[in-house]
């Protein structure tokens, strides 16, 4: 399903936008405004954290979803044992677009692989739209040279289409309170962007940082360069599929 509100208003009179999921592991462990929920890991005890951030674009499914406008977002997430839940809110720079996401997931850790299944409800109060999404994912941090790899797929009940992402990540810790990561991700569209071409969609590289501050606060940031693959201007859903540079900054708090 496309994250371009104009495409939705054209193709779905009642529904104009949907969730991008998260757990795209392009993000590694740093929150991405459009993909706020870290569902893949089981929690040994009750954990919760919040995030407030700004991003220069709403980058989703390889697309500039808000056509150049920036995105403010905030989230609150909690996890205990095999379960996690979260709420996320995002709006563009001029407050003409608003979106809520409510997520619930169950996860299981095996010897070398973590797995999860999740459900997300998306609400667009300004446009009267909503969607339901189901997602599944696998992740492993037991690869050579400290690499992490993950695969996720998510399905939109509204447009009856799926999107898949495969990513690989490497993190280094140059200081006790600082982590730097680089990740690469391939995206594949199967009807999730309803009016976009099917098949390999984009490749993106992401540089992320996580700097621990005092009293549970952390400063996070990201730089993303994405390259469109097989963009076809004949498809309305490919209009915002483009080579794109995105950057953002945020503040986290762990309870």
Average per-residue pLDDT for the chain: 85
The pTM score is 0.83
CA 5 to chain centre: 17
Structure confidence at residue 19 as a pLDDT band (50, 70, 90): very low
Structure confidence at residue 44 as a pLDDT band (50, 70, 90): low
Query: What is the pLDDT, as a whole number, of residue 21?
Result: 33
Mean pLDDT of 189-208: 96
**Degrees to nearest 5, angle at CA 132 with 22 and 59:** 35
Please determine, for residue 29, whether its predicted confidence score (pLDDT) is greater than 90: no
Please determine, for residue 4, whether its predicted confidence score (pLDDT) is greater than 50: no
User: Which residue from 67, 73, 3, 65 is spatially nearest to 32, judged by alpha carbons?
Assistant: 73
In the chain the domains, ranked by start, together with CATH numbers, are: 5-254 (2.40.160.40)
Contacts of 217 (CB under 8 A, 6+ apart): 251, 252, 253
Please determine, for residue 155, whether its predicted confidence score (pLDDT) is greater than 50: yes
Mean pLDDT of 81-87: 92
Query: What is the pLDDT, as a whole number, of residue 96?
Result: 87
Considering only residues 24 and 211, tell me which one the structure prediction assigns the higher pLDDT. Answer: 211
Query: What is the pLDDT, as a whole number, of residue 42?
Result: 52
State what percent of residues in the chain have pLDDT above 90.
Answer: 72
């Amino acid at each position: 399903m496309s994250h371009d509100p104009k495409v939705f208003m054209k193709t779905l009179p009642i529904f104009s936008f949907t969730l991008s999921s998260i757990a795209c592991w392009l993000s590694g462990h740093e929150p991405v405004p459009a993909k706020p929920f870290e569902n893949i890991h089981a929690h040994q005890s009750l954990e919760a954290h919040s995030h407030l951030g700004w991003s220069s674009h709403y980058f989703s499914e390889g697309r500039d979803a808000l056509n150049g406008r920036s995105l403010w977002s905030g989230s609150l997430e909690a996890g205990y044992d095999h379960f996690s839940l979260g709420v996320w809110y995002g709006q563009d720079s001029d407050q003409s677009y608003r979106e809520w996401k409510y997520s619930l997931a169950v996860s299981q850790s095996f010897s070398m692989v973590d797995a999860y299944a999740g459900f997300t409800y998306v609400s667009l109060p300004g446009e009267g739209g909503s969607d339901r999404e189901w997602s599944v994912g696998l992740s492993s941090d037991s690869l050579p040279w400290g690499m992490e790899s993950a695969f996720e797929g998510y399905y939109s009940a509204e447009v009856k289409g799926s999107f898949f992402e495969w990513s690989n990540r490497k993190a280094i810790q140059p200081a006790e309170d600082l982590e730097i990561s680089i990740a690469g991700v391939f995206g594949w569209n199967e009807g999730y962007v309803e009016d976009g071409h099917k098949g390999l969609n984009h490749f993106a590289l992401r540089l992320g940082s996580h700097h621990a501050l005092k009293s549970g606060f952390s400063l996070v940031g990201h730089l993303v360069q994405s390259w469109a693959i097989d963009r076809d201007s004949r498809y309305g859903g490919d209009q915002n599929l483009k080579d794109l540079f995105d950057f953002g900054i945020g503040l986290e708090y762990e309870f």
